[in-house]
Structure 1
Amino acid sequence: MHNVLIVDDSATSREVLRAILCEEAGFNVVGFAKDGREAVEKAKELHPDVITMDINMPVMNGLEATREIMIETPTPIVIVSASTRVKEIEASMEALGAGALAILLKPSGPHSPQHAAMAKEIVSTVKAMAGVLVIRRRRRVTPQGSSSLVKEPVATPQRPKIKAVSILSSTGGPPALAKVLGALPTDFPIPILLVQHMVPSFVAGFASWLDSVVPIRVCLACDQARIEGSCVYVAAAGSHLGVSRGSRIRLSDDPPIDGFQPAGTHLFASVAEEYRHECVGVIMTGMGRDGVDGLQRIYDAGGTTIAQDEASSVVFGMAKVAIEQKIIGSVLPLDQIGNQLKQLVC
């Protein structure tokens, strides 16, 4: 039985979430909080197994509450937000960086045609996150004289050994990607194609947020756009991301693969077909086995394959399956993946 604390300033939303979770065996809603400050106190008092957290709330918002809970009473947190405005999406992404594990779209109610599908996703995600071990965060102290990110000077270009990097991440992905891509210079000479499993409504905001926190440029992938170095192309919602001849973006409306659209398997297979041994496939934190079949194509073509290790993964699922399939060349902790990519192109 998983004990759940529901945090939302709307009584209606609290009741919708309670009904969704209580209809599923294995959940026990132990309490409610109507703002972030109350959530911090209830987390200390009730010690829930998992918390669903709204973002836009009075007194203390969900981002601030997440930060405090991860410092005071570390608990798995799932962000459940109704807003797709840029400001709230950025706050949700920052909450993931502060220790929240996943972000979902808040269901509007049982009369919505999407309610059943959204309820199913909430149940499966909250159940999975309830079993994740989280770590205590330290309170941030801004040192005097700190400055914003300083871009690295442009180095003398060298011919890359590879022509494209492809990355797949899922649960726990946004902050992990910020760390990997944050290790790359602004002039990283080859393109990076990225699939991040995420609720479609948040994808554009995710790309904007990622662009704001890493040195290298990040943009949403557009069909037939020429692929250029020094840029990360994020898969758009509802379309598979791939490449076509002449190094152009190819968005596809092919059916979902293993339930995902975009899917990592489609990306990896497409990159393998276009670049053969001159490409890299990186599989990171997340549930399930998406990407494994596509990564097999990169491995068979002689490309480079990298998996995030268990210790640094929020959920060791996709990477674990790929490692067990013996198609991974390097298993690396999160803080070494970016440096490995730099070494491969220099």
Structure 2
Amino acid sequence: MSVPPCRFSIAASDAPVELLPRDLSPWQQGNCGVDYVHRLDSGQPGPELVIQALTHGNEICGANALLWLLENGIRPLRGALTLIFANVDAYKTFDPQRPFASRCLDEDMNRVWLPARLTCPDSHEARRAVALLPFVENADSLLDLHSTTFAVAPMLIYPQKGCNRSFADRLDFPFPHLLYDLGSYHAGILISEHERHSSGGVSLVAECGQHFARSTSQQALAITLRFIALHGMLDGSVQLPDWGYQPDSSAGHYRIDRVLQANSDQFRFAEPVKGFEQYSKGELIATDDQELIAAPFDNCTLIMPARVPVAGEEVVTLAERL
């Protein structure tokens, strides 16, 4: 299988870059035999947590959150906590003039978590995923830290399973929750692979805000510490920071319905969008060459629309507000 080149390599920036990536080289030497992986073991019985950052190399908020944990000597009260800096090689290519270009080297690392891809890895991202897979398979609960192209509300994304929903609700996360059924969302995402191996654990993605905003790194740290605390593994002396963004009293739950792809380079949204726009059934969302794309149901909400639509690539997720 040939892997197409990462489409983000041509992107320029129209977003303010408030934070630059930090040097991760002091943390390259992990303690697990894999670079940039650190396992913090309490020596006491308890859950195995994994928190991953840099699934995408330009999403620096997660790296900043993990650095805060390491530099402040955070240790779990029980169980073990494994911190993963995933696509560091892409992260190292960051250019503030073209900050979207460091998303990946060969392909989206959040689409390679499939048995066929991991058995015969044929890209930088797939080979790195193979190295990280044992930690994913061993995790009771997993948090994958991300950020978004546009400055939209932070959000949680998770498979629609009772333990995920219950845990997410107990987080008191005052932003949108997006739920999906396994097999009906993106193929090959990390939390779906974790869900295949988990029995009663939690699989969460936290989208923490716009990629390069200071508040996004604060949001990432806030959700990370709450994730650890809700597992009963955070020392009570560690103060939980405020959320990086103003809590949204109108935030609700959404059911992910489908992901649309652009069939041509002429794909255009009917109006400028950045995410969470809502449409009534039949209302025009976009055009794709000569095709009209209308909302297939009421309360149809756009999630993470593509900044630059590309033929054959994912262009937007449609979700129903519940």
More helix by share: 1
Task: Give the TM-score normalised by structure 1.
Answer: 0.30
- Structure index of larger Rg: 1
What TM-score does the superposition give when structure 2 sets the normalisation length? 0.32
Q: Give the structure with the larger strand fraction.
A: 2
